[in-house]
Structure 1
Amino acid sequence: MASSSLETGHPVTKRGIWGWMLFDWAAQPFFTVVTTFIFGPYFVARLTADPISAQTIWSNMATISSVIIAIFSPILGSIADQSGSRKPWIAFFACLKIASLSMLWFAAPGSPIFWPVTFMIIASIAAEFSIVFNDSMMPRLTTPENVGRISNTAWGLGYLGGIIVLIFVVLFLAASPDKGVTILGIPPLFGLDAASGEDARITGPIAALWYFIFILPMFLYTPDVTKGLPLAQSVRSGLSELKTTLHELKGRPVLTRFLIARMLYQDGVNGVLILGGAFAAGLFGWGTMEIGIYGIILNIVAIGSCVAAGLVDQRLGSRNTVLLSLALLIIATIGIFSTQADSTLFGLLALPVSDATGLFSSGAEKAYLVYGILIGIAFGPVQASSRSYLARNITIAESGRYFGIYALSGRATSFMATLGFSLVTYATGSAHLGMATLTLFLGAGFVLLLRVPERVAPAQS
């Protein structure tokens, strides 16, 4: 079944739409396995001897990436509208991402942290810039009525891709440094040495290979705009267009309010995703195996949640879907930073401390899993339905520049969330208080989004 391109009237085949959706499938293992659940916690818990300082460094890495992304995303989006084609830009940034991820293999315990931090910054920037160009293709592929379903389905596919890689790592690569065997009781594949962190370090090259293979359908089958200005001219015209767009936002108060709300709550979402696994590693001493299983649980929940959210988005709208998801994220984040080794909810609920050595044996760890499930339900839909909200309320001709500004809204102050965590953690010595700062961003975005209507006429947007 084909869908009409809103720009040309030419059919976009089902294969073309699936090629576009597979971009999320290709890209997600970097965020799931490298940033959140395997390499990130490894960086915090094992790369250096000081987990608190390592959490701060990891947070600072995210801050630097966010500042660069915030500055250049809207510029690149405007250039994309002028140059027409998105695929050459995606290919360029894919090369940077693949090369940087491959270099994480050399981040052995005790080695200089400068290089893994540098390569993570490059990979993060390349990943986000690629997303700007990929997202801006979406309005051309389907109708406004279907964009929420397609966006959530693509996000669900991303989590499925992430969880497949994560399960592979946990079952066949992640081993106990003491016993040297995986959760299946077998030696890690490829002769990996868990004691030297090879089971975590290999996630960089694996994510790179996965990304390379599965972005190919998008390049082969998804239609791209071929007519546009030459590169040098498109850069000049794009910069001029960006200035016009920023001025134009003054006359589109509803869209401006949405972008500011999204800027705030996405900062909180980014902080939860970037810091959640590292926080658990510091709080409970979780290793690659525990963090990996935790990530599997979250992503299994996220897949089903995205499928359900696609239906909710169609019936209740993108805005309401985001609001429901934000409410769950706020509850979960409060639960996380209120949890100590023997209690949760700020000591109101005492929890048994177990002497057992099994997985998630203490009551606090089980409570953390519950909060993680709430995050799994919410963090996919809040991002997918935000993307579909924008797609419904802009024209195709302005998609590149507005998705560039959309990326800006997701990153413009995201360094504030991670920086707030770093400053508070450094000043107090408490990662719990650092995590508490994330609720300020989630809550502020929620309140502001309450004043944004579901759909607006172009003149009011």
Structure 2
Amino acid sequence: FTTIFTNSMLPSLVPREDTGKISGSGFALGYWGGVLALAIMFPLFVENANGVTLLGNPPLLGLDGATREGTRLVGPFVAMWFIIGMIPFFLWVREKPADVQIEGNTRDALRQLWKTLKSLPKRHSMFAFLTSSLFYRDALNGLYGFGALYAKGVLGWEIMMIGVFGVISAITAAIFAYFGGILDKKFGPKPVLIGTILALITVCVIVVSMTRESLFGFAFAPDSQMPDIIFFICGGIIGAAGGMLQASSRTMMVRHADPERPTEAFGLYALSGKATAFLAPALIALVSEISGNQRIGITPLILLFGISLVLLVWVKPQGDHGE
């Protein structure tokens, strides 16, 4: 909910041509913050079944490892991390002053929202983008959630390997979100969106086609570590493409938003991301149940990414307001 308001401030903070770079930098810093949080929690606080951390020591601050107090500290730590992260925002970010005093009530706001929703089919580019983002964000979230299940069920990974996989994904997301912002500034968000979706489709095809014994029907050597290496690479690509996709999606939304009502546009963007959040998990569960194969269960994500790619054909690079 908070991101609706922070995202809507982006057009007023920098010139239009710099929104891509700033959006990418913002996501990159967010991911680096996540990596730093993991680097603090895992070695120092989060304990295993034996009550010790990754460094082999009890949790800091005198926390009781036997009752998993270190692990239970994650919730308060995340809350504190949010507070620390928002301090610079409240201290130094300045809102653009409103030119007029807006008056009205909830009924007026709902009436304006309904008017905007009715106008969407006439705003072909924005409608196509919101619908496209609905599918690719749902598919991306499904891929994020499915990664750990695939690693455990198909490759037989333990929790430590899955944790390393997550850290690699977060690091590549941080690096490539920033790099994607540079590409966004140079070429615009649409080519970045297309490229990242194609990369994610490729990852899905590889994951569907790989088992512990083979890839695309070509057998691995007995006890080969190649499946693990390939999936680590896939995790890096998922993180990189996901970071770039999120950053350029925000830039594309800026280009479609009414400059006078950016919060309304980002509210619709948030709504489209939540409206069918059940779709990818439901399709994965359904196909996995029908096929009896957890690996085949990821095939619906290829379809969702494909639909989103087709819908981008109708998205104008500069939005509905111009080329």
Q: CA deviation digits over 1:149-185, x for unaligned, max 9?
A: 110000000110011111223322344435x544434
Q: Which amino acid aligns with 2:16?
A: P
Residue pairs, 1:404-423, within 5 angstroms: 404-423=267-286
Q: Which amino acid aligns with 1:443?
A: G
Give the match's secondary structure for 2:281: helix
Q: CA deviation digits over 1:25-77, x for unaligned, max 9?
A: xxxxxxxxxxxxxxxxxxxxxxxxxxxxxxxxxxxxxxxxxxxxxxxxxxxxx
Give the match's secondary structure for 1:247: helix
Cα 1:165/1:256, change in 2 over 3 Å: same
1:385 is matched with which residue: 248, 252, 259?
248
Mapped contact 1:344–1:367 kept (Cα < 8 A):
no
**Distance in 2 between residues matched to 1:192 and 1:403, nearest whole Å:** 42
| Residue 204 (structure 1) aligned with residue 75 (structure 2) | yes
Cα deviation for residue 225 of structure 1 reads 6.1
| Residue 436 (structure 1) aligned with residue 291 (structure 2) | no
Cα deviation for residue 372 of structure 1 reads 0.6
1:348 is matched with which residue: 200, 210, 218?
218
2:230 is matched with which residue: 367, 372, 392?
367
What TM-score do the two structures reach when normalised by structure 1? Answer: 0.64
Q: Which amino acid aligns with 1:281?
A: K
Q: Which amino acid aligns with 2:312?
A: L
Cα 1:279/1:319, change in 2 over 3 Å: same
**Distance in 2 between residues matched to 1:410 and 1:217, nearest whole Å:** 27
| Residue 264 (structure 1) aligned with residue 135 (structure 2) | yes
Residue pairs, 1:442-461, within 5 angstroms: 442-456=305-319, 458=321
Q: Paired residue for 2:85? A: 214
Q: CA deviation digits over 1:376-399, x for unaligned, max 9?
A: 221011111011011123232121
Q: Provide the aligned C-alpha RMSD in A.
A: 2.6
Moved more, 221-230 or 441-450: 221-230
**Distance in 2 between residues matched to 1:293 and 1:390, nearest whole Å:** 33
| Residue 334 (structure 1) aligned with residue 197 (structure 2) | no
Q: Paired residue for 1:251? A: 122
Cα deviation for residue 284 of structure 1 reads 4.2
2:187 is matched with which residue: 299, 316, 323?
316
Mapped contact 1:166–1:292 kept (Cα < 8 A):
no
Mapped contact 2:23–2:251 kept (Cα < 8 A):
yes
Residue pairs, 1:65-76, within 5 angstroms: none
Cα deviation for residue 426 of structure 1 reads 3.9
Give the match's secondary structure for 2:108: helix
| Residue 161 (structure 1) aligned with residue 33 (structure 2) | yes
Cα 1:249/1:331, change in 2 over 3 Å: same
Q: Number of aligned pairs?
A: 321
**Distance in 1 between residues matched to 2:213 and 2:60, nearest whole Å:** 37
Give the match's secondary structure for 1:396: coil
Q: Paired residue for 1:148? A: 20
Moved more, 428-437 or 181-190: 181-190
Name stretches of at least 5 consecutive residues in structure 2 with no aligned partner. Answer: none
Mapped contact 2:197–2:305 kept (Cα < 8 A):
yes
Mapped contact 1:267–1:413 kept (Cα < 8 A):
yes
Cα deviation for residue 295 of structure 1 reads 1.7
Residue pairs, 1:155-304, within 5 angstroms: 155-177=27-49, 180-190=51-61, 200-224=71-95, 229=102, 233-304=104-175
Mapped contact 2:201–2:305 kept (Cα < 8 A):
yes
Moved more, 269-278 or 258-267: 269-278
Q: Paired residue for 1:399? A: 262
Give the match's secondary structure for 1:450: helix
Cα 1:452/1:210, change in 2 over 3 Å: same
Q: Which amino acid aligns with 2:106?
A: V
Moved more, 137-146 or 284-293: 284-293
**Distance in 2 between residues matched to 1:352 and 1:226, nearest whole Å:** 66
Cα 1:205/1:449, change in 2 over 3 Å: same
Give the match's secondary structure for 1:421: helix
Q: Which amino acid aligns with 2:26?
A: A
**Distance in 2 between residues matched to 1:322 and 1:421, nearest whole Å:** 24
**Distance in 2 between residues matched to 1:383 and 1:454, nearest whole Å:** 16
Q: Paired residue for 2:5? A: 133
Cα deviation for residue 351 of structure 1 reads 5.1
Give the match's secondary structure for 1:177: coil
Cα deviation for residue 404 of structure 1 reads 1.0
**Distance in 1 between residues matched to 2:140 and 2:175, nearest whole Å:** 19
**Distance in 2 between residues matched to 1:195 and 1:330, nearest whole Å:** 43
Cα deviation for residue 446 of structure 1 reads 1.3
Name stretches of at least 5 consecutive residues in structure 1 with no aligned partner. Answer: 1-128, 355-361
Mapped contact 2:252–2:319 kept (Cα < 8 A):
no
Cα deviation for residue 192 of structure 1 reads 5.9
Identity %: 33
Mapped contact 1:183–1:289 kept (Cα < 8 A):
no
Cα deviation for residue 197 of structure 1 reads 5.8
Cα 1:200/1:348, change in 2 over 3 Å: farther
Q: Which amino acid aligns with 2:37?
A: V
Cα 1:365/1:270, change in 2 over 3 Å: same
Moved more, 376-385 or 217-226: 217-226
Q: Which amino acid aligns with 1:305?
A: F
Q: Which amino acid aligns with 2:125?
A: V
Residue pairs, 1:73-152, within 5 angstroms: 129-152=1-24
**Distance in 1 between residues matched to 2:211 and 2:72, nearest whole Å:** 29
Cα deviation for residue 198 of structure 1 reads 5.4
